[in-house]
Amino acid sequence: MNFPKTQIWEMNKAEVLIIDDEPQIRKLLQINLESNDYKVVQASTGKEGLILSASHAPDLILLDIGLPDKSGHDILKELREWYNKPIIILSVQDNEIDIISALDNGATDYLTKPFRTGELLARIRSAIKRSQNSENDIIITCGDIEINLVARIVKQNNEVIKLTSTEYNLLALFAKNEGKVLTHQYLLREIWGYTFQTETQYLRVFVGTLRKKIEVNPNNPQHIITESGVGYRFQ
Partner DNA sequence: TTGAATTATAAAGATTTCGTAAAAAATCCC
Partner DNA sequence: GGGATTTTTTACGAAATCTTTATAATTCAA
Residues that bind DNA (CB under 7 A): 162, 164-167, 184, 192, 199-202, 204-208, 211-212, 218-219, 226-231
Contact of residue 184 among DNA, its own copies, none (CB under 5-8 Å per partner type): DNA
Complex with its own copies: residue 21 or 173, whichever CB lies closer: 173
Contact 191, 203 (CB under 8 A): no
Q: Give the CB-side neighbour count of residue 6, counting CA atoms within 13 A.
A: 3
Contact of residue 122 among its own copies, DNA, none (CB under 5-8 Å per partner type): its own copies
Separation of alpha carbons 155 and 148, rounded Å: 8
Tell the smallest beta-carbon distance from residue 150 to its own copies (Å): 7
**What 3-state class would DSSP assign to 19?**
strand
Options 13-21, 37-45, 62-70, 106-114: segment touching its own copies (CB under 8 A):
106-114
Options 40-48, 108-116, 189-197, 212-220: segment touching its own copies (CB under 8 A):
108-116
Q: What are the distances in angstroms from CA 21 to CA 15, 26, 70, 171?
A: 19, 8, 11, 37
Contact 100, 54 (CB under 8 A): no
Options 21-29, 47-55, 121-129, 195-203: segment touching its own copies (CB under 8 A):
121-129
